């Protein structure tokens, strides 16, 4: 199950989204994730869904990879829906003891769950269509204006990139350790919550040791290559805005404006 988590993975391609400037993709993603929370009506969610499907089609990323990114978080999605289902007041559809289901609860639960799905899907598209190195360059470029306030732009971008890069590695390591412990008789699926928590200790200890060892090896490798931060460093490929970035911005701004208009008119 852990190998199903795709956060931080890159899907190679040459699509419209793959060729966009990483700065444009990051800003567009942030704008649209914010715009998702503006949606309040059926038609606005239909618009967001259509835009998501169009974006997936343009990206060239298989839909099964988007579903794979959402699948590990199914518990959070179901929990979000249930919370709103049972706590939202309104027109009663079913009542039995402490169970009180309303029409508004179903609508609100569905909308909030869809918001999380959209958020995960758009965030996944960003990492699927942007390699870690290019993503680092984009983040650093966006943080550069803050250097005058003492923000270490290069170091922050590098740490974010390394974190994204090692998420799949740590997940594979966790899965390998769990399989090794299971072959020795460990049980991670039965028992109460306390028993399951205790059974994870033999997994967490070697995982932390492995993570610290990888971090030490990475630091040693960087020192051996005379890494001294971002001061004075140059890049082989300079980031440049192109016409496709303007098209991407225009599409996101247009959909966001429509969502704001729908919110005002509702």
- Round to whole Å and give the CA distance between 249 and 251: 5
Q: Where are the domains of the chain?
A: 2-183+240-265
- Round to whole Å and give the CA distance between 229 and 244: 32
Helices and strands of the chain, counted as H and E runs = 10, 2
Please give the share of the chain, as a percent, with pLDDT higher than 90.
Answer: 17
Contact 25, 248 (CB under 8 A): yes
Give the pLDDT of residue 44.
92
Give the pLDDT of residue 258.
92
Give the pLDDT of residue 225.
81
State the helix-helix crossing angle for 201-224 and 153-183, rounded to 10 degrees: 140
Give the pLDDT of residue 236.
65
- Round to whole Å and give the CA distance between 240 and 252: 19
Burial of 226 (0-12, 13-18, 19+ CB in 10 A): exposed
Per-residue pLDDT of the chain (266 residues; tens, 9 = 90+): 445 555 667 888 888 998 898 889 999 999 988 888 888 888 999 999 999 999 999 998 888 888 888 887 888 888 988 888 888 888 878 777 777 888 888 888 899 999 999 998 988 888 889 887 788 888 888 888 887 887 777 778 778 777 777 777 787 888 888 888 778 777 766 766 677 777 777 788 888 888 888 888 888 888 888 777 666 666 667 778 888 889 999 999 999 999 999 888 87
Read off the tokens for 11: 């899907």
Q: Residues 114-167: pLDDT tens digits?
A: 999 999 898 888 888 988 778 888 888 888 888 788 777 777 877 877 777 777
Sign of CA dihedral 214, 220, 226, 230: positive
92: three-class secondary structure by DSSP: strand
- Round to whole Å and give the CA distance between 58 and 40: 26
- Round to whole Å and give the CA distance between 66 and 52: 11
Beta strands in the chain (DSSP E): 92-96, 99-102
Kind plus residue range of the DSSP H or E element containing 20:
none
CB atoms under 10 Å from CB of 190, counted, come to: 8
Q: Which of 131, 115, 130, 122 is nearest to 54 (CA)?
A: 122
Read off the tokens for 151: 């923000």
Give the pLDDT of residue 194.
72
First to last CA, the chain: 42
For strands 99-102 and 92-96, give the pairing: antiparallel
90: three-class secondary structure by DSSP: coil
Read off the tokens for 160: 């974010």
Sign of CA dihedral 137, 143, 145, 149: negative
């Amino acid at each position: 199950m852990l190998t199903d988590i795709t956060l931080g993975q890159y899907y190679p391609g040459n699509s419209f989204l793959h060729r966009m400037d990483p700065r444009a993709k990051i800003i567009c993603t942030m704008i649209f994730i914010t715009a998702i929370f503006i949606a309040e009506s059926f038609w606005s969610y239909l618009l967001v869904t259509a835009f998501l499907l169009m974006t997936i089609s343009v990206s060239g990323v298989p839909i099964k990879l988007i579903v794979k990114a959402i699948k590990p978080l199914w518990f959070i999605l179901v929990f979000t829906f249930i919370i709103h289902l049972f706590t939202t007041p309104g027109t009663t559809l079913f009542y039995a003891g402490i169970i009180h289901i309303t029409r508004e609860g179903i609508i609100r639960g569905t909308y909030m769950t869809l918001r999380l799905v959209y958020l995960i899907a758009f965030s996944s598209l960003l990492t699927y269509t942007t390699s870690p190195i290019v993503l680092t360059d984009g983040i650093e470029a966006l943080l550069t204006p803050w250097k005058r306030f003492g923000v270490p732009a290069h170091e922050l971008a590098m740490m974010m990139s390394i974190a994204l890069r090692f998420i799949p590695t740590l997940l594979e390591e966790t899965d390998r350790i769990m399989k090794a412990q299971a072959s020795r008789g460990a049980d991670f699926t039965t028992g109460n919550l306390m028993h399951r928590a205790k059974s994870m200790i033999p997994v967490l200890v070697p995982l932390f040791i492995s993570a610290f060892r990888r971090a030490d090896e990475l630091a040693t490798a960087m020192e051996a290559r005379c890494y001294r931060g971002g001061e004075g460093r140059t890049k082989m490929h300079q980031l440049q805005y192109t016409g496709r970035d303007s098209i991407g911005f225009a599409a996101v701004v247009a959909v966001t404006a429509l969502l704001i208009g729908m919110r005002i008119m509702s």
